[in-house]
Every structure is written in structure tokens, then in C-alpha cells.
Structure 1
Amino acid sequence: MKSFLLDVYSIGVSKVLMIAFGLTTSIIIARALGPEKNGIIAALLVYPSLFMSIGSLGVRQSTTYFLGKGIFTEEQIKKAITQIWLFTTVLSIGVCFILMRYFSKSGENLWLVILALLPIPFTLFNTYNSGIFLGKNEIGYFNKINWIPTFIVLIITSALVLWLSFGISGYLMALMGGPLFISCILLFKNKFINAFTFKYDWRVIKQMLSLGLIYAFALLVVNLNYKIDVILLDNLSTAFETGIYSKGVSITEYLWQIPMLLSTVVFARSAVSKDDRGFSLKVAQLLRLSFLIIGIASLVLFLLSEFIIVLMFGEAFINSVLVLNTLLPGVVLLTIFKVINMDLSGKGKPWVSLKAMVPALIINIILNIILIPEYGASGAAMASTISYSIAALLFIAFYSKETEIPIVTLISYKRSDFKPIVQLVKKFKS
């Protein structure tokens, strides 16, 4: 547990930096551009961010699994990754262009569409690289891949949006800068430059994609539950309502960094664990802790929501308060899924999440279509909360069945649950 806590602490520092840089960037574009232009940005970025789920083909997860289990060597995996990356880059850009250009109101501006597409190859490359670091349990390198780009995006956004007043174009250019910088470093740091070859090992590629596609499809359905409201708002409402929603939901995304902090370590450790049930019991302990922490944080956020929204984004986003408050109950419940899903994914069972997420997604779409025309952003928030709650309750039942651990055992607090917090506090003091 000690080494586990060290990894949690390490990723925790990375997450704090990501939240700080990301939140500052979000504040800058909110105050500089206003709700309507923020809505255009949200609509432009929803397809690239969504398609990263299927476009990455689950390569990071399958890389972590095969490398962690020692099924393939690092060199075999690197060569396969470079070949898969070239294909997925072309595929991702092509599909995203069609979706943005012809299925989004914000896709009418070709220049903005092109700018929104440019980060895709570099983001994919970094995603694939991170799977190698997770498979080798090199959490420190994994952290840097995540927080350094957010810092660079903040610097470039400040220069292009605040100083040069490039508006939406400036922010989209900044989004390319961070991934591009890390990609250039990783090309040599991780010796990927030597992995590019025309000699194909179809056995490795086939096995990585056969497992990876399952991860990718599962992740696509999960992310659709998070993004479908923006897609439907873009088509059924106005850019203003989309902008209001995007800022309300952005606060919950930062709140989710707490369970995601645990999930990254859980996935990496689960992939190399020899005692599956014993590890799942540790995951259940982390679930109970994270649920408590998220619950308390959400209560504080609910009580201070108006102050926080206005302080960060300005009076123009006052309607985002209702969005945030409506989303919080669902966010708390979905913490269950966020933490324990990575355990099953690390065990090579990503398909279990589909049993919970597919019904939840269908309900989310139906409710959004009903609620958005009349209630706009707040209607989308209500649909998401109901969907998140259903997904969480279904998934814990399926997780219990897969791990053969009773639900009561999973959710019952014990005095020993709080030892990790005590240990982290002691480490921080020392």
C-alpha cells in the first residue's frame, strides 16, 4: 500500500498542476470571449475530444496491459504503435472533419475547423506513449505528459487571446502548442524515432487492436455520456446556451480529477496484479474514500457555486450556477464508476462498462431531446445527472458480480479505510 500511496501522491501533484493551469486558461477564455464564443469553442472541440476515444483505438490501455503482463517486449509494442498511429491520425482527422463541417452549427467556419483538428495527431501520439509509461509503472513520466501541455496551453493562450486578441483562433492555436511540444520531446526521449519501420509484425498489431478496439468502444460510449449534451445543445439550442453549459460542466470535470487521480494508478497496478480479488478489495477501499471526498467537495461547491462561478467567469455566466448545481448529484454518484471501472479495464475486461453505460446513454439522449428545447443548458444538466446516476448504480452491481465481492462489502466503511489518508498527511508533514 505504501508504494501505491506514493504513486497516488505523485499523480496528485500532477493533477493539481493540471487543474491550476487548466482552470486559469478556462477563466481567461471565459472573461475574454464571453458565453457565445465559448459555446462555439465547446461545439468545435466536442467531436475531436470525443473521437479521441475511438480514434486512439484503445492503444494506451492495450499497451499498458500487454507490457504490464510481459506478453510483448517494449520494442515490439513501440513499432506496432508507430504504425497504428499513422493510420489512426488520418482516420481521426478525416472523420472529425466530416462531423464538424456537416453536423455542427459551429463548423461553418473552415479556418476554425482546421485549427480544431490540428492537435489530433500530437494528442494521439502522446496518448500512445503514456501507455508505455503506465505499463512500466513509470508514473513520474506519465505525469509530465499530462501537466506540461496544460502549462504550455496557458502560456500561449495568454499571449494570443489576452495580448494579441486573436479570439477563438488564438485559443485553438494554443491547444495545438502543448501536445506538439510534448510529442517532439517524446519522439527522442522515448526513442520512438527508432521505432518507425515498414516491417509489420501483424501478430502484435492484431492482438493490440483486438483488445484495444474493445477499450476504445467502451471509452467511446462512456465519453458519449459526457459529451452528448454539448452535441445536442449545439443542434437544438443556441451557442449562448452551449457556452453556459460548458462552463458549468467544466467545474465538475475538475472535481472528477480526484477519482481520476486514483483511477490511473488503479489501472496500472491492476494490469500487473497477481492477486485480482485482493487488489479489487483495495480498489473498493479507494472507492469509499474518494466517494466521501467528492461528496464533501460537492457540498461545499453547491453552497459556494454562485460565488465561484461569478468570481471565475464573471456575471455573464451566472446561469452556469444552475447547471453546476444540477450536475453535482450525478457527479457524486458517478464517482463509483470512475474509480472501479479502471480495475476491470486493467484486468482486460473493459466491456463490462458497456452493460451500464449503453442504457444510461440511451436515457441521456432521450431526456436531452425532450428537455433541451424548453430548458436549454439546465435541461441538459438534468438529463446528465439522471444518466450518471443510472450508470453508477448499474455498474457497481456488475462490478460486484465480476469480482465476486458483495455490494455491501464494497460500500461499507471501515476504520482501516482512513489509514491511507493518515499516511498521506504524515508524508506531507515530513
Structure 2
Amino acid sequence: MKLRRTLSPPRGRFSTHVVWTFAARVLMAVNSVITGIIIARWLGAGGLGVYAVLSVAVANAVQFGGAGLASANVYFIARERQHLAPAALNTLVFSVVTGGALALIVVGLAALKPALFGDIPLGLLAVAVAATPFHLISLLSLNIFLVEGRVDRYVLLDLLGQSFILINAVLVLLVFGAGLRQLVFLNTVTLVVVGIGIAWVMYRYLKKQGVVAAWRLDVGLFRRMMRYGIKYNVLMIATMLVLRADLLIVNVFRGATEAGVYSVASQGALMLLMLPTVIASLLFPRVAAERDAAGKMTCRVTQQTVLVMLIACLAAVPASFALPVLYGASFADSTIQLLILLPGVYLFGLESILVQHFVGTGLPRVILLFWAATVLISIVLNLALVPLFGARGAAVSSTLSYSLIFTLVIVYFRARTGNSFASILLPDMTQVRELIALLRPQNFLSRRV
């Protein structure tokens, strides 16, 4: 007999989990911002540009190497808890092997086509991508805690690992007065240690749950996970390309200095997307477990996200003028770039919630086609606009691309669920009151979504 249970936490805890996870993401973002400021001040825009491109290269390698299996874990374990141990081992072994292979492929591409990474030395790139398998281990292990409803461990371990980025920058640049090479090397060593540590914590958790006896490879499950994972990975790769390929294109056509300036604006946009990303990550296992074909839960969460993202984007307008103050006068254009990005960021945040309905119900291929079209249009726009207008052209391209994918997904969501646009997007007064109550300090951790 199959063991089945809903792995999502009780409904009353959803907003608590959102608050804690978002708070951790804010701290992580602050770490990243401070790290960027330190690098910009000590190594200049060129140094920050190289660092940003290396970070994007590693992130892309992780996305390719994971093959979507981290999210396949969430999908299959949320539906059948008996898959917990074999799914964890399947994806762990696969990602170690594939992550290593992807690191070699990235280095090989850089050796054959140096122009792909601009002026970045091959050796420095090799050191950065060497951490890919261990980055994957961390990702897979953390997702196990997420689907199990252990958001506390998920948040704390994720925050702990990311905090070393700032610690390393302080030690290497401020304390020892070293340079970018030493910083990249220490980051790689740290990722290796953190990955192994998180995997050990996950193993101890599984042992405590009494499922270590089922700790074996399951080929049949692996095939099903691969089918789902590949679809999910296509979605995530497309998302990453739309969000980050513009930085690489700016680096190729305009150089590391302008890429460094644009990386600040891009970082601001990604910070604004943190909250919908957090909500989406917690909504996904709930949709998968409850199999809500009518999309009512997704509509309710989207309605509140409409309000929250509106507040965040409006607040970002005056905040954008502080960027040159924080990073230096050479980053003045990052303000204009971020302002151009804001309309698209708002719509992209809503799309990231709506698409969880499809991710949690099997991920139909039409969603992948939507993203494929968006990636193609985004690349064409970037190649047309960046050589002429530089980073501002990249910002325009991104806003248009974000708006396109939002339009495609919401129209399809309406068609599949029968919900009207108003019921999807417009919160009623109850929603407004709930949001206001949630923001009150005394209710901050107790309101229900």
C-alpha cells in the first residue's frame, strides 16, 4: 500500500513561512549588495563586472546540471512520501556526476570560444565553475527540507551558506588586501565545504525519519523524475536566460565596465523579485500535494502579490537614486536602467506566482513553448538594442520580455481554470485587510494566507 500524505505545512503557517523565508532572502540580498559594494570600491566596475559574469556562469551551470531534478523531488515527494529517500539519492548521485561534467563543458567552451566570456581568464573561470557539483548538492538537499515542510532548516542552512559570500569578500579584500583571484578561489572552497555539510545534515534528517532503509537508487522513479525534471529545467533555463543573458550580452558588446554598472540595476530588479520567488517556492509543493485544478489557491496568492509588488516597485523608484551614492559616481546610469526595468519586474513577479499552478499540476508543454518564444524574442531584442544603446537597451529588452511572458501565462491560466482576469488579479477588501493586518508587528507571524 502506498503511503500518501500532504507534505505542505498547515494553511495557518503559510504566511509565517513566507515571512521567515523572505526575511532570510532579504538578509541574503543585503549580503550580496554589501559584497558588490566592497568589490566595486576595491576592484572597480571592471572587477565587479568580471565577478558578476562568473556568478552568472556558475548559476547557469547549476541550472543546466540539475536537470530540474531538485524540483522533481518536490513534485514527486509532495504527492507520494514513499519517494523521499530514493528520490534524494537519485538526484544526489546524478547531480554530482552531471555537475562535474557541466563544469568541464563550460571550461571547454571558454577554451574553444574565449569571446563567450569576454576578457575573463580561463583559469579564473575554471576555479569558479569547479564548485558546480557541490552547489547542486546544496540545492537538492535544501529542497528536501522544503517539501518536508521543514522551512526552518531550509531557511537557516540556505542563509548560512550564502553568508560566506560576504564573509569571504571582507576577509580577502578588506582584511588581507588580496584580489579577485583569491576571492573566487575562497568562494569555491566554501561552496565545496557547505555542499558537503548540507548533504550530511540531510542524511541525518532522513535517518531520523526512519527512511534510510529505503536509501537506494530507483531507476523507474528516476525515469519519471527525469521526464518531469527536464521539462522543469527547460522552464528554469529559459527563465534564467531571460533574466540574466542580457548581462552577458552587455559584457560581450560593451565590456566588463558597462556590464558591472548594469549588474547593479539587474541586482536591484532581482531583489524586487525575491518576494514572489519566495511565495512561489512555498506555493509549489502545496499545489502539487492538493492538486487544485481550479487554481483557487493560486488566485488567492496572486491577488495579495499584486498589492505587495505594487508597494515594492513604487518604493524602488526613489530608492534607485541611491545606487550611485552606494556604488560610486561611475554607476550613475544604473538608476535609469533600474527605472526602465520596473514595469517588467512587476509583471514578472505576478507571472512567477501564476505559473506555479502549472508547475504543480504536471507542467504542460505549452508553458515551455511560451518560454521558448520569450527567450528567442529576448535574445533578438538584446542583440538589436545592446550594440546601439548599451545597458539601457538591455533594460528595455528585459521589460518587454517580462511583459510578454506574463501576458501569455495569464491568458492560458484563464483559459485552463475558467477564472476571470478580475478574480485572478483584483484583491477584494478582505485581501487588503489581511495584508494590512499581516504587516502589523503583533500579527506579523500569525496571519493566514
TM-score by length of 2: 0.88
Structure 1: gaps (5+ residues): none
Q: Is the partner of 1:349 in helix, strand or coil?
A: coil
1:264 and 2:281 aligned: yes
Q: 1:300 aligns with which of 301, 312, 315?
A: 315
| Counterpart code for 1:302 | V
Residue 377 of structure 1 corresponds to 391
Residue 389 of structure 1 corresponds to 403
Residue 323 of structure 1 corresponds to 337
The question of whether the paired residues in 2 share the 8 Å contact of 1:48 and 1:117 is answered with yes
Structure-2 change in CA distance of 1:33 and 1:77 (3 Å): same
What does 1:345-360 correspond to in 2, within 5 Å?
345-349=359-363, 351-360=365-374
Residue 30 of structure 1 corresponds to 40
- CA RMSD, 1 decimal: 2.4
Q: 1:251 aligns with which of 252, 268, 282?
A: 268
| Counterpart code for 1:288 | Q
| Offset of residue 274 of structure 1 | 4.5
The question of whether the paired residues in 2 share the 8 Å contact of 1:5 and 1:424 is answered with no
Moved more, 182-191 or 51-60: 182-191
| Offset of residue 177 of structure 1 | 4.7
| CA–CA distance in structure 2, aligned partners of residues 414 and 350 of structure 1 | 30
The question of whether the paired residues in 2 share the 8 Å contact of 1:44 and 1:106 is answered with no
Q: 2:298 aligns with which of 283, 287, 290?
A: 283
Q: What are the Cα deviations for residues 206-246 of structure 1, in whole angstroms up to 9, with x where unaligned?
A: 11111111111111111111122122222222211111111
Structure-2 change in CA distance of 1:311 and 1:199 (3 Å): same
| CA–CA distance in structure 2, aligned partners of residues 182 and 418 of structure 1 | 41
Residue 160 of structure 2 corresponds to 148
| Offset of residue 200 of structure 1 | 4.3
Q: Is the partner of 1:250 in helix, strand or coil?
A: helix
Q: 2:357 aligns with which of 331, 336, 343?
A: 343
Structure-2 change in CA distance of 1:260 and 1:420 (3 Å): farther
Residue 14 of structure 2 corresponds to 4
Q: 2:175 aligns with which of 155, 163, 168?
A: 163
| CA–CA distance in structure 1, aligned partners of residues 309 and 190 of structure 2 | 29
Residue 229 of structure 1 corresponds to 246
| CA–CA distance in structure 1, aligned partners of residues 232 and 318 of structure 2 | 37
1:137 and 2:149 aligned: yes
| CA–CA distance in structure 2, aligned partners of residues 77 and 429 of structure 1 | 32
Structure 2: gaps (5+ residues): 1-10
| Counterpart code for 2:79 | K
Q: What are the Cα deviations for residues 118-138 of structure 1, in whole angstroms up to 9, with x where unaligned?
A: 221111001111221122121
The question of whether the paired residues in 1 share the 8 Å contact of 2:291 and 2:361 is answered with no
| CA–CA distance in structure 2, aligned partners of residues 108 and 182 of structure 1 | 26
Structure-2 change in CA distance of 1:50 and 1:247 (3 Å): same
| CA–CA distance in structure 1, aligned partners of residues 416 and 304 of structure 2 | 22
| Offset of residue 174 of structure 1 | 4.2
| CA–CA distance in structure 2, aligned partners of residues 109 and 275 of structure 1 | 50
Structure-2 change in CA distance of 1:325 and 1:177 (3 Å): farther
Residue 200 of structure 2 corresponds to 188
| CA–CA distance in structure 2, aligned partners of residues 82 and 209 of structure 1 | 13
Q: Is the partner of 2:77 in helix, strand or coil?
A: helix
Structure-2 change in CA distance of 1:364 and 1:164 (3 Å): same
The question of whether the paired residues in 1 share the 8 Å contact of 2:137 and 2:196 is answered with no
Corresponding pairs, count: 427
Moved more, 408-417 or 65-74: 65-74
| Counterpart code for 1:363 | I
Q: What percentage of residue pairs aligned between the two structures are identical? A: 22
| Offset of residue 51 of structure 1 | 2.8
Q: 1:311 aligns with which of 306, 325, 330?
A: 325
Structure-2 change in CA distance of 1:233 and 1:423 (3 Å): closer
| Offset of residue 323 of structure 1 | 1.1
Residue 234 of structure 2 corresponds to 217
Q: What are the Cα deviations for residues 228-286 of structure 1, in whole angstroms up to 9, with x where unaligned?
A: 21222222222111111111111111111111121111112112115442xx3232222
| Counterpart code for 1:162 | L
Q: What are the Cα deviations for residues 287-311 of structure 1, in whole angstroms up to 9, with x where unaligned?
A: 22222222222222223422x1023
The question of whether the paired residues in 2 share the 8 Å contact of 1:44 and 1:107 is answered with no
Q: What are the Cα deviations for residues 45-102 of structure 1, in whole angstroms up to 9, with x where unaligned?
A: 3232123222101111110111111164322122212321232122221222233442
| Counterpart code for 1:300 | A
